[in-house]
């Protein structure tokens, strides 16, 4: 019996090892693609299910329901990005320990990451429910949209523990180069999300409460599937509920890297909240169009970030193994792959922009306004890719504060100033959307200078 169990564990370990990527030996370009493509597909799939929810609401409930969900997107991003950043810190720390071949430290870091995600998620429920009403009012959501916007946000917040757990679990797998497992778990959960959306909205005649409930249930499925897999694992990634504890030293390092990364994401969301508030002032048609365009352009953003996050992981492992030449090669390949992928995906989304927008709402005014946003945002994504890759390279070396501060001044500062000066003077949607490429140009210059300074001082390889 023991021999049979031992053979089963060995077989599981062999199967797991096939999903992992040896980042410190052999070729780089093909391995980075192997990690980045499933990571991009995970983000795209996740957004596809979210977009389907919005499309179902737009077709069967109306544009006010679409506007209600869209008005929450920037706020939800703000709430999530801090903890997604911390999960990125967990990714870097676990990857570095892996490069050092320190299995005991990997095991402690995995358990720390899992427990931190659960504790933070529970805290976010309490805090979020307290501030939901005042924050939605602060966004200037119109009266005819406000009740549904608040209802959607309150239900969504209930799912924060499982949402954060999924992101931290994904970071654990990503640190080993395994991006297939999170993708497959998300695929299963996403199918449930789609089915529940159709059932709640079409059959039960629910509105945004049905979409939010479907989202919470599907996130619970994906996070529990991944927890089950981690509990079945052998070796340092095995999760035991009895061993869940927070290692203070490891948590401090995760926070040192992750909090600035989270702040960088929060700065993006904070500036987007400012822009969303300005969008809300232009009426429900513009709100609906912006929500539809956002659900299209975000596909390209996930492609953009997947290569940057892959670069972070590869650099973290090779830096942990003291392979500086290999780190430099990772940076060059990451930049080339990301720019090519972004150019192709942005071009395709722009070409098919009108039919894609029509899937959300067939109102000609909504479609025409959505095209305006797509042109400004997708047209400037190559500059955004440069920012993302340079930031993720610095983060892989453990330097997260520099890109965070650069983003604070470049993204947040420029966009807020834009809203209260140029947009206030020329109160049009086109002028507002021009804030995106404008802020990216300023930020790209700042981040590039910071990167070159660190490189010249040999702080990074």
Question: How does pLDDT run across 151-198, given as a tens digit for each residue?
Answer: 888 888 889 999 999 999 999 999 998 989 999 998 898 889 889 888
Q: What would the two tokens of residue 12 be?
A: 């599981």
C-alpha 237/C-alpha 301 separation (Å) is 30
Residue 461: its pLDDT value, please?
74
Q: pLDDT by residue (tens digit) across 197-215?
A: 888 888 888 888 888 899 8
C-alpha 194/C-alpha 48 separation (Å) is 10
Max distance between CA atoms of the chain, in angstroms, equals: 78
8 A C-beta contact, residue 369 and residue 360: no
In sequence order, the 6+-apart residues with CB closer than 8 A to the CB of 363 are 63, 285, 288
Q: Is the pLDDT of residue 249 over 90?
A: yes
Q: Is the pLDDT of residue 261 over 60?
A: yes
Q: pLDDT by residue (tens digit) across 335-344?
A: 999 999 999 9
8 A C-beta contact, residue 440 and residue 414: no
pLDDT band at 349 (very low <50, low <70, confident <90, very high): very high
8 A C-beta contact, residue 25 and residue 41: no
434: helix, coil or strand? coil
- Chain Cα centroid distance, residue 144: 30
pLDDT band at 97 (very low <50, low <70, confident <90, very high): very high
Supply φ then ψ for residue 447, to 5 degrees.
-65, -40
Q: What percent of the chain has pLDDT over 70?
A: 96
Nearest Cα residue to 24 out of 425, 319, 252, 236:
319
- Chain Cα centroid distance, residue 218: 17
Q: Is the pLDDT of residue 110 over 90?
A: yes
- Between 139 and 181, the higher pLDDT residue: 181
């Amino acid at each position: 019996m023991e021999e049979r169990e031992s053979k089963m564990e060995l077989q599981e370990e062999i199967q797991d090892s096939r999903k992992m990527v040896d980042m410190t030996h052999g070729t780089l370009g093909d391995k980075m693609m192997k990690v980045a493509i499933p990571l991009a597909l995970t983000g795209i799939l996740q957004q596809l299910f979210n977009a389907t929810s919005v499309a179902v609401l737009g077709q069967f409930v109306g544009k006010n329901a679409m506007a209600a969900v869209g008005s929450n997107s920037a706020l939800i991003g703000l709430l999530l990005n801090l903890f997604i950043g911390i999960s990125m810190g967990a990714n870097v720390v676990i990857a570095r320990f892996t490069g050092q071949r320190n299995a005991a430290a990997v095991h402690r870091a995995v358990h720390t990451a899992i427990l931190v995600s659960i504790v933070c998620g529970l805290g976010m429920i309490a805090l979020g429910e307290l501030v939901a009403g005042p924050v939605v009012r602060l966004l200037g959501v119109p009266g005819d949209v406000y009740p549904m916007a608040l209802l959607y946000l309150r239900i969504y917040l209930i799912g924060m523990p499982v949402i954060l757990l999924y992101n931290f679990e994904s970071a654990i797998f990503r640190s080993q180069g395994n991006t297939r497992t999170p993708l497959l778990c998300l695929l299963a959960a996403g199918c449930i999300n789609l089915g529940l959306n159709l059932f709640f909205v079409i059959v039960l005649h629910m509105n945004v409460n049905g979409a939010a409930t479907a989202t919470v249930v599907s996130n619970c499925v994906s996070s529990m599937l991944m927890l089950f897999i981690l509990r079945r694992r052998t070796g340092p990634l095995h999760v035991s509920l009895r061993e869940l504890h927070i290692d203070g030293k490891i948590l401090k390092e995760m926070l040192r890297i992750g909090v600035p990364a989270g702040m960088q994401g929060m700065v993006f969301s904070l500036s987007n909240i400012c822009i969303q508030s300005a969008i809300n002032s232009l009426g429900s048609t513009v709100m609906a169009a912006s929500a539809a365009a956002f659900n299209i352009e975000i596909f390209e953003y996930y492609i953009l970030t997947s290569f940057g996050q892959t670069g972070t992981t590869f650099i973290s492992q090779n830096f942990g193994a003291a392979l500086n030449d290999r780190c430099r090669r990772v940076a060059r390949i990451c930049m080339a792959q990301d720019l090519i992928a972004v150019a192709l995906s942005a071009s395709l989304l722009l070409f098919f922009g009108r039919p894609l927008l029509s899937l959300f709402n067939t109102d000609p005014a909504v479609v025409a306004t959505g095209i305006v946003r797509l042109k400004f945002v997708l047209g400037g994504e190559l500059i955004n890719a440069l920012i993302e890759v340079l930031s993720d390279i610095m983060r892989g070396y453990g330097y997260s504060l520099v890109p965070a501060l650069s983003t604070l001044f470049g993204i947040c500062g420029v966009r807020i100033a834009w809203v209260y000066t140029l947009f206030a003077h020329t109160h049009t949607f086109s002028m507002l959307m021009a804030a995106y490429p404008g802020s990216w140009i300023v930020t790209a210059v700042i981040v590039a200078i910071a990167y070159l300074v660190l490189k010249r001082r040999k702080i990074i390889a």
